[in-house]
Structure formats: C-alpha cells, structure tokens
Amino acid sequence: MNCVHNISCIHNVPIFKQLSDDEKQTIMNRAINKTFKKGETIFTTFDSSANLWVVNRGKVKIVKISSDGKEQVMRILNQGEFLGELSLFSNEKMTSNAYAMENTEICIISGDEIKKTIRQNPEIAIKFLEVYAKRIKESEEMIEKIGVLDIEQRIAKTLLDELNQAKNNEIILPFSKTDFASIIGTTRETLSRKLAKFQEFGWIRLSGQRKIIILDKTGLKRLLI
C-alpha cells in the first residue's frame, strides 16, 4: 500500500461530473490516495469514519465472511464507483472485508466535504439518490437470486445479465469462477458441474477461465420461466 496526494481521482467519478472546478478542488483538498496490488487486503471490517472511498482505477470486491469461513461477495466495485456512502447518512458500522481484484487505486474523500456539497447542490443530492436507488435495486435482485432461485437459475440469470452488457455472444467474466460461485451463493465445485452440464446441453461453450460463449440463449431463458 502506498499513499500520495492526487487530484485526478474525482474526474473518474461520474457522480461529481457536474461540479464546478472550484467545488471539485474543495472536495479533493483533503483527499488521500492509496494504491493496492492485486490480491491485497484493502480493509477488514470497514472503519468507515464517514469517508467516501472512491475506486479510481482497478476493481474491488466487498466480502462478508461467516464464522466457518464461508465467503459471500456483497458487491464488486469498478472504476468510478465508491464505498462508504452508507456511513455518510447512517451511523451504523459495516463489517465487511475488501480486497483488490486487480492493481487498484483508491482515493478517500472527506465525508464532511461531501455532505456540505450535497447540501449546497440539490442536483448532487439527486445524483446520490439515483446511485442509492441503483444500489437498493441491485441488492434486492441479489436477495431474489439467492432466496427464490435454485442454483441453475441463478447461474442462468447471471449469464444472461452479463450477456446484456456484452456486444456479441461472448461473455468475459469480470470475476473468477470462484468469485462467481460466491456471488450467487454456491461453491465453485457446484458451479463447475452446472456449467459443464450447460455445455453438454449445448447452451454454452466454455473457453479458458473467463470466457463463456452463449450458444443457446433460449435454453438458459427457459430455466427462468
């Protein structure tokens, strides 16, 4: 881990795009920049301190770990996304761990500055509400996935979701199969077996560790009916 001052960070955060240069400067004055190597722990049990942790570059996974070591991936943060937004408006502490999935650069922005900015810029408040709404939606989808779908359905749903973001029929997984398994609440062994089964059925074609070619979208969709 390495700390430097860096002003560029805020430019990567869509939510702050509409701020004036002055406002950006004010927010960033007290910001701290940290870098993490792939695999490094960013934190265990988030100490919050009501700051906003912005992923400037790289990718971060937020994980809950049960008493017997089972991992549940809560979210994955990509460039421009941030963490700690809960601590801004609720004083509950979050207990989760965060790891750098790639070489990652994070900047920590003062929560007080953010709150000031929100109070002064209703439009920024709306932006934050939009981000929060998206977060709630994603969480609820996850609850649905884990709660009412069986594992084949969860896999099919995840593949179809990823496919939506892809141009062609090729999915490049943005996470390892091990993380994939954890995200949908199963083990890597079960995921592996199910994917092999999907391949047997001619629905998909596995290639390397991260590539999945969708051959029969309908087959996957039928699982969800």
Tell me how far, at minimum, the Cβ of 170 lies from a second copy, in Å.
Answer: 26
Q: How far is the CB of 6 from a second copy (least distance, A)?
A: 27
- Going by C-alpha positions, the residue among 214, 176, 179 that lies closest to residue 198 is 214
8 A C-beta contact, residue 60 and residue 154: no
Is residue 116 near a second copy by the rule CB under 8 A? no
Stretch that binds DNA, among 2-10, 136-144, 145-153, 217-225 (CB under 7 A): 145-153
103 contributes a contact to DNA by CB under 7 A: no
Stretch that binds DNA, among 76-84, 90-98, 176-184, 213-221 (CB under 7 A): 176-184
Residue 223 near DNA by CB under 7 A: no
Contact 173, 183 (CB under 8 A): no
CB-based contact 138:81 (threshold 8 Å): no
- Of these, 2, 22, 147, 164, which contacts a second copy (CB under 8 A)? 147
> Nearest CA to 28 among 105, 110, 83?
110
Q: Which amino acid is at 96?
A: S
Tell me whether residue 163 or residue 206 sits nearer to a second copy (CB atom): 163
Type of residue found at 58: G
For residue 141, give both structure tokens: 């989808």
d(CA 109, CA 9): 10
Choose between 43 and 175: whose C-beta lies nearer to DNA: 175
**Of a second copy, DNA, none, which one sits near residue 126, judging by CB under 5 to 8 A according to partner kind?**
a second copy
User: Where in 186-215 is the site for DNA (CB under 7 A)?
Assistant: 186-193, 195-196, 206, 208-210
Task: Give the C-alpha separation, 205 to 146, whole Å.
Answer: 25
**Which strands form 104-109's sheet, in the order they lie side by side?**
2-4, 32-36, 104-109, 52-57, 82-83
Q: Name which of 100 and 107 has its Cβ closer to DNA.
A: 100
Distances (CA, A) of 36 to 47, 76, 163, 185, 209: 18, 16, 30, 27, 24
Name the site residues for a second copy (rule: CB under 8 A). Answer: 64-67, 70-72, 74, 85-86, 88-90, 92, 94, 115, 118-120, 122, 125-126, 128-130, 132-137, 139-140, 142-144, 146-149, 153, 185, 224-225
Name the site residues for DNA (rule: CB under 7 A). Answer: 68, 70, 150-152, 176-178, 185-193, 195-196, 206, 208-210
